Structure 1
Amino acid sequence: MTTQFSALNTMKPFLQEAWEKAGFLAPTPIQEKAVPVILEGADVIAESPTGTGKTLAYLLPLLEKVDPAKKAVQAVVLASSRELVMQISDEIRQWGGGITSAAFIGGANVKRQLEKLKKQPQVVAGTPGRIHELIQMKKLKMHEVKLLVLDEGDQLLVPEHIKGLEAIIKSTMKDRQLVLFSATMPEKTAVLAKEWMKNPQVIKVEKKELPASQVDHFYFVCDRREKNIFVERIMRGFDPERMLAFVKDIGEVNVFSEKLAYKGFTNGILHSELGKQERANALKQFREGKLTLLFATDVAARGLDIKGLSHVLQFDMPKDATQYTHRAGRTGRSGQAGTVITLITEREERDLKKIAKELGIQLVKKEFFKGKPVDAVERPVSNKRRADK
């Protein structure tokens, strides 16, 4: 086994084979730091930038700890969105060897989910609301659970989930292990998590431990009402293979989405008001490259790993550095190249520069010239324009 991952060499053969098949040589910093600690049985609070292999950092030790002979739920992974749960579920299947698993999400048919439980999955991924509901129905038995994972933990430790989370954690045995992962870890998240943990190990991967980013950060200044036209210009001028566009108000986007489709830009929408199947279809088509553009809310797109996503567009100004980090982190994953484009009004320019300074990223102001994006030139205001004003 030619791997530079010493912890992996002690694991089950199917995990070593899956690692080799995936073509990985060395672990990422978060995998190198977190895997041995989770294997030892410690509670963990882990923070690592987007696209650095966090899922495998908890999945490898989780799958190692599952006893294939025991037909009971032994590990549970919680995530805040349906899309992220399904993504994690796919990874569990890909890496799980013969270990059985199931995903449980809100909005799905409960009867069908109860049928899944009858098959005695050993690993379960789900949204907190649905997992809590199945526990209350006494259908999901938690007494054999050794490991509970909170993925994108800062999205889970929020007021609307706290009670449910607490109930889920209390339904497990005292000696269970609890681990929390996220790309951003507000102080209040860590403080809350520690209340449920026993001497947690805090693991943090800094940007400087990672290869230099290959992501370009551009922005365009325009009036709010011009933003729709700018999306068309961006699609033509950058010609992205696929672009994920973050929007605050999905209501505005529905009509615009139809207009774009009419003009030949195949696009989809991903937000919580859509039905489960519509969301799944939009994401599937986008992953497969059948849609060039996908509009999404921050909640729906949190933590998504879309292979080969070249461009991210922020249709609306991010509210803070954390939101910028999670949006931008959908592209340039695992050291790949990527482009982040932000549309802002003149009044928002100063705030965007503040965020960039906080994150240590270099912003480049762009404009369109004959349909092509070029570096913006600060032009002196002509007398004619002064008179117009």
Structure 2
Amino acid sequence: MINFRRIMVSIIAALTSIMTIIGVAGCGSSSASEDPTDVTFMLYWTPDTNHIGVYVAQNLGYYKDAGLNVNIVAVSQTGGETAVDTGVADFALSTMTILSQYDAKTHGDLKMVMQVQQKPSSIWCALKSNASIKSPKDFDGKTFATAGSSESDAVVKRMIQNDGGKGVFDKVTAGTNTFQTLTSGRADFGGFYATWEGVQAQLHGPALNCFTEPDYGIPGNADSIGVITSEKMIKNHPQTVKKFVQATQKGYQYAYDHPDDASEILVKEAPDANLELDMVKKSMHTIIDGDYWGDANKIADGTFTIGTVDTTQTQRYFDFLSDTSDTYVDANGNKLKEAPKAADMSTNEFVKQ
């Protein structure tokens, strides 16, 4: 582009004033002539298929074509939400549920600008070898390998009750490996994600007996994974937000259309994660076959766009948590009287329909 502009300058110098104006206008309208805009994207956890669209967009040049220089960084100890809220990162992967809890405590100026996952992938499982657990009501009196959140307690309790149980169970902190907590006998059941740990269990064990939230009356979408940014970023740099969101959309759409190729890109672009290619491919096919990014038929016929934020299902889940747990508390630990509003912390204005 630099050489082209130099040639244009020479030509314009020899032309009439009218041609000069046309030439200058033509060059001035091209964003490709501008220096790329640096932005930072923070991971939600270690790289996996939830992040795959970002790595695809980076590898295939979608960000470069949009005039962006994207730096993908590991999640900070304080989390992507704090990093975005304080300006350490411009974008991050998060969920609407985490965003709602963060907002309740801090009144942060964060918004989800693109939602990847459209249905819950959480599964609640016991070892298949544990013959005493055949459905959630059998979790009664057993030990739950928990991360310690009141949110997961509320979900497990409601699933047990909807299956005819009392909803009473013991708890032990799972640590970093819930599989190990179960196989060691320290706990009887725990929470996993069907699109990742569920795939890992299918490929390498241990064999699990799992139950999904919708089958046992948990409303809405608990796992509304997507891209967040700050309202300050939206206000001051709306074109950068638009470019990032739409390039990222292209990355996820490519992964949906070419799951095996996208899996290879993720493994290549995130070498430090030591990802197993077969597992990544199986995870992607699980996502597609399970309609986790949206109804496959609607995506195919264009009636649904990957990346669209769905506030209806997230609000249903927020309301459930507000009614049944102490998930939503302010900075002083006081429970909020009402659930946060999903519509207030999200927007579809940057998603290309």
TM-score range, shorter chain: under 0.3
Q: Which has the higher contact order (CA 8 A, sep 6+)?
A: 2
More strand by share: 1
Q: Calculate the TM-score normalised by the size of structure 2.
A: 0.28
